[in-house]
């Protein structure tokens, strides 16, 4: 497991586990669920054995999930069929649950669509070109020359400590201005260090909104959610009305799984392209090598996607604090989605993440 000390010695910046999801809270243990009336009618289901997975392995995975008290849902899709699904501790398939920092990965998908649509000229576009009005409000900002690619890679070069500033991030009325006001951090030998930064990654939301001249949620609904048959979401905003880019999106587990399967399937959904395959390939590419997260080794970071080796398989993951995961296992044509209680102290939420990663790793090692 990578500790804060390990990360700093590696020159990678802020800690990993406490950062993945907009942080934890004081431990109120609230469920923070939005109820929907959506019924289970949106996935083709199949027996695990029909898709080459032993029934005993699937049963073990789902049963062991119940041993993690904070687990709320665990779903497995293979070859486009839902072969495993269980909800825990009163969780329901209709619940809209916070996906925490997996929200960032949704922003990466939206950015790729905006480039496809000619709304953004490419990942080399600078914040000066993408957010001119917002930068004009902050005299002396040093953020104008930062590229979209640097934002997506968490290598903006702006100074940020996720632990120290998390409460400021959670309570600032204007997250865009906060991010654009950050000072320059010391450079590493190869340029800006990798530094997990939920302030700067938020900027993908106003970038998308400015690119289309529309609200981020309206863009996401038209371009991403509606094509996938995602009928209801909830998405938090700051006091300025800006949709939060780093956390705050709530989805059903089955809808998070749609995002995962679409991404694994080269951006396709039911025969139609939703996100360009070339953008996904670029997004999945390692731009930095980090270290282990629980049983996941060789961890790296792409365009707001994590990747590593787990249970002997390459995995690519959208990852939110407390155990909100949308995991792609390309060589198995499999995706796994989890939801867990996240309103917990940092150490407890981080420990739950390890339990969930390790549970999935044991399952994958059998396949």
Query: φ, ψ for residue 250 (rounded to 5)?
Result: -120, 130
pTM for the model: 0.93
Quick one: pLDDT at residue 246?
A: 97
Residue 357 has pLDDT above 80, yes or no: yes
Nearest CA-CA partner of 157 in 130, 124, 179: 179
- The answer to whether the CB of 205 falls within 8 A of the CB of 216 is yes
Quick one: pLDDT at residue 280?
A: 98
DSSP type of residue 277: H
More confident residue, 6 or 168: 168
Quick one: pLDDT at residue 72?
A: 98
H/E stretch holding 317: strand 313-320
> Which domains are present in the chain?
4-364 (3.40.710.10)
User: Euclidean distance between the first and final Cα of the chain, in Å?
Assistant: 24
Quick one: pLDDT at residue 29?
A: 60
Q: Which value, in Å, is the radius of gyration of the alpha carbons in the chain?
A: 19
Q: Taking all residues of the chain, what is their mean pLDDT, rounded to a whole number?
A: 91
Mean pLDDT of 275-288: 96
DSSP type of residue 219: H
Quick one: pLDDT at residue 1?
A: 31
- The answer to whether the CB of 350 falls within 8 A of the CB of 17 is yes
**Tokens representing 1?**
């497991």
- The answer to whether the CB of 100 falls within 8 A of the CB of 322 is yes
Q: What does the CA dihedral 163, 168, 171, 172 come to, rounded to 10 degrees? A: -140
User: Which phi-psi region, left, alpha or beta, contains residue 266 (left: φ > 0; alpha: ψ -120 to 50)?
Assistant: left
Q: Among 6-20, 134-148, 256-270, which is the least confidently predicted range?
A: 6-20
H/E stretch holding 329: strand 324-329
Quick one: pLDDT at residue 20?
A: 52
Residue 4 has pLDDT above 60, yes or no: no
225-277 pLDDT, tens per residue? 999 999 999 999 999 999 999 999 999 999 999 999 999 999 999 999 999 99
287-323 pLDDT, tens per residue? 888 888 889 999 999 999 999 999 999 999 999 999 9
24 CB contacts (<8 Å, ≥6 apart)? Answer: 18, 321, 322, 342, 343, 344, 345, 346, 348, 349
Query: φ, ψ for residue 247 (rounded to 5)?
Result: -165, 170
Q: Among 189-193, 203-207, 242-246, 310-314, which is the least confidently predicted range?
A: 189-193
């Amino acid at each position: 497991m990578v500790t804060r000390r390990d990360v700093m010695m590696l020159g990678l910046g802020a800690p990993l586990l406490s950062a993945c999801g907009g942080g934890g809270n004081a431990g109120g243990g609230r469920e923070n669920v939005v109820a929907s009336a959506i019924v289970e009618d949106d996935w083709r289901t199949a027996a695990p054995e029909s898709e080459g997975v032993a029934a005993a392995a699937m049963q073990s995975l789902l049963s062991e999930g119940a041993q993690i008290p904070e687990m709320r849902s665990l779903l497995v899709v293979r070859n486009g069929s839902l072969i495993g699904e269980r909800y825990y501790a009163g969780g329901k398939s209709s619940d809209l649950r916070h996906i925490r920092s997996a929200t960032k990965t949704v922003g990466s998908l939206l950015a790729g669509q905006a480039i496809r649509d000619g709304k953004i000229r490419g990942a080399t576009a600078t914040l000066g070109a993408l957010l001119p009005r917002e930068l004009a409000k902050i005299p002396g900002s040093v953020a104008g020359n930062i590229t979209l690619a640097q934002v997506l890679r968490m290598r903006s070069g702006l100074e940020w400590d996720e632990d120290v500033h998390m409460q400021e991030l959670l309570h600032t009325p204007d997250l865009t201005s906060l991010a654009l006001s950050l000072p320059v951090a010391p450079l590493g030998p190869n340029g800006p260090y990798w530094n997990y930064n939920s302030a700067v990654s938020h900027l993908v939301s106003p970038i998308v909104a400015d690119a289309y001249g529309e609200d981020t949620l309206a863009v996401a609904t038209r371009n991403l959610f509606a094509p996938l048959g995602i009928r209801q979401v909830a998405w938090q905003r700051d006091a300025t009305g800006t949709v939060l880019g780093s956390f705050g999106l709530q989805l059903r587990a089955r809808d998070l799984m749609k995002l995962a399967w679409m991404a694994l399937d080269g951006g396709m959904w039911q025969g139609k392209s939703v996100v360009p395959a070339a953008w996904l390939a670029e997004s999945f590419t390692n731009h930095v090598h980090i270290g282990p997260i629980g049983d996941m080794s060789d961890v790296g970071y792409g365009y707001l996607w994590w990747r590593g080796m787990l249970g002997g398989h390459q995995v690519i993951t959208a990852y939110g604090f407390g155990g909100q995961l949308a995991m792609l296992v390309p060589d198995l044509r499999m995706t796994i989605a989890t939801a867990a209680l996240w309103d917990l102290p940092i150490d407890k939420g981080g420990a739950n993440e390890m339990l969930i990663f390790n549970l999935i790793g044991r399952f994958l090692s059998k396949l």
